[in-house]
Amino acid sequence: MNGNRWRRVGFGVGGLIALAVLFLAVVMLSNVGLRGVRLDLTQNKLYTLSKGTQQVLGT
């Protein structure tokens, strides 16, 4: 009975650590991998390059 309880707690603590690592991995990977996908809601598109700028830059 007592051993069973400790096994459960050990399992839970292990799970929490695994979750924390997973969370860190997701945040770090999304920081690197998801760059540039954004929705600019400002009225004058303040944070988006205009067509003219992109032409000048030659992209």
Partner 1 sequence: MNKVLVVFRRELRSYFATPLAYVFIVIFLVLAAVFTFQVGGFLERNQADLQSFFRWHPWLYLVLIPAISMRLWAEERNSGSIELLMTFPITLWQAVVGKFLAAWCFAGIALALTFPVWITVNYLGSPDNGAIVAAYVGSFLMAGGFLSIGMCLSAATRNQVVAFITAALVGFVFLLAGFPLVLDFVRGVLPQSIVDAIASLSFFTHFDAISKGVIDLRDLCYFAALIGFWLAATALVLDMKKAE
Give contact residues for partner 1 (rule: CB under 8 A).
4-5, 8-9, 12-13, 15-16, 19-20, 22-24, 26-28, 30-31, 34-35, 37-44, 46-47
Cβ proximity to partner 1: between 15 and 53 the closer is 15
Cβ proximity to partner 1: between 21 and 56 the closer is 21
Across 21-44, b (16+ Cβ under 10 Å) vs e yields: eeeeeeeeeeeeeeeeeeeeeeee
CB of 23 vs partner 1, minimal distance in Å: 4
